[in-house]
Structure 1
Amino acid sequence: MKIQKIRKQREMEGIEGDGSGRGEGSSKRYNLKPSRVSNEDILICLDVDPQCLVEMKGATGPNGRPLTRLDSVKQAIILFVNAKLTINPQHRFAFATLSNTISWVRKDFTSDIDSTIAAMRSISASSSAGPPDLTLLFRLAAHEAKKSRVQGRIFRVLLFYCRSSERPQHQWPVNQKVFTLDVMYLHDKPGPDNCPQEVYDTLVEALEHVSEYEGFILESGQGLARVLFRHVLILLSHPQQRCIQEYLDIPKSIAKKVPQVEPMATEDTAPIATQ
């Protein structure tokens, strides 16, 4: 009886039958409208506060010098851009830095990987200090997003943030969502001078406040480069194809993988000894 009720409901909705929506007794037609996945324009912004010079654990450069957060972020960005262009050569990238405010590094959006490498080489840490303001970053993103939309593209901001004690500020209208914000947050452990949880919560609020599509925020206080690279690979996902972040279950931890159990022999499957 329950199955018949479900079937009758589907017929009324026009989704029973051969997949065309022409169910028995149905006058409606179910159509799944095709959607186009747009090319992306991605503005990558690096936090160059002195805290970006904190050394990573177990990571050294070609000369044996320990890698800093900034060094590791640069490597991760080159990996990210190269992978995105491998997926779709039509994606484009520009670069900026965050100290107290925003400064352009490469304003012109390009699909040239050599331009990305050159931009990374030109970025260094800043000596400035003080609470950062993301308002100008959002204004720049909104301005560029309008130009991208005219070309049938979508706009994304990828922010690498590395301050454990300074919460970013912004002033932005709640009803203006024309770009998507992703955040990669590298921080120290909580302590008397650090409040990474409060900083993280502020970044979450900013992300939800401005993002057009589902924005991701990922964090690491372990100081491990491999964790940074793994998170950046998650950010390769296209905003138009994402699930809600709380449903995200990649990459899976090896410890959480269910081991495959060999089937036990039974009387029906046990091998028969022959004389």
Structure 2
Amino acid sequence: MSTPPSSTPPSSAHPSSAHPSSGVVDIFDSRALAARRRRALALGPETFLIDRVAEDLADRLGAVKRQFATAVDLGTPTSALAAALAGSGMVERLLAAGPSERADVDVVADPEALPFAPESLDLVVSALALQTVNDLPGQLAQIRRALRPDGLLLAAFFGSGTLAELREAFAVAESETLGGISPRVAPFADLRDLGGLLQRAGLALPVADVDRITVRYGDPLALLRDLRRMGAANPLTDRRRTPLLRKTLARLFEVYAERFSDPDGRLRATFEIAWISGWAPHESQQKPLRPGSAKLRLADALKVPEGRLPGES
């Protein structure tokens, strides 16, 4: 999600590319994503955030009051979701699908091209993975095709307010020390767009909401270390490929402390968790009434006289 203080060696930059057939822009560098996941595993992953989201997802799924026969955990970077659902009785069979960097996956899957047959799954869940998919509308459509009628998608991923503090501090520091800014924090999906994306994918009863988690740190370097150990360092295709300068890093720390510190001196970092859910259409689901099918006028329901708006004849 951001660039840690010690960057990879410089390499030739290449601009974002688009797939000719689809027009999808590669915002995220898949090779960089894989390298960051491998490095996180080597360093020892930081899991406090994924563990919390996994527990929240299990709680939300429990509210459905239903058992799902065949489920897929799509892209979750650790086994936290499997652990949270184990023994709950909500899922009979849970398959882990994702990149090969996670050694315990049951199905190695490219997030841009899912390998599941149409109407083969009862449930798809995902925790903190979908934010780095280049074609989110396309992936949601693929999930919809893989769900059986009345199957459920329930996912959580980073929303647009994530790391707003770091984004602002980086922008100020680079502008002042380098004369311009570079992409440092991923352009996460906005909550206002997610309901429309679910409907566009053909999912019924779409719901999107957001949860904000504030984590406090002693200094920005501790935050950057956590991001590295989450595998969440900057994966953007258009990222700056040269190491971060000491003067830029020093100014980053100053700006962060000036603008985002609490009275006790600790610094705030916001993680916005966007939640989405939607169902594959089924005849048993509630459907909105057709326009004009109401049997009672609003004025009668409210027991008030029906009037006219100013200017109406």
* TM-score of the superposed pair, with normalisation by structure 1: 0.28
Higher RCO (C-alpha under 8 Å, 6+ residues apart)? 2
From the CA coordinates, give the structure whose radius of gyration is larger. 1
TM-score by length of 2: 0.26
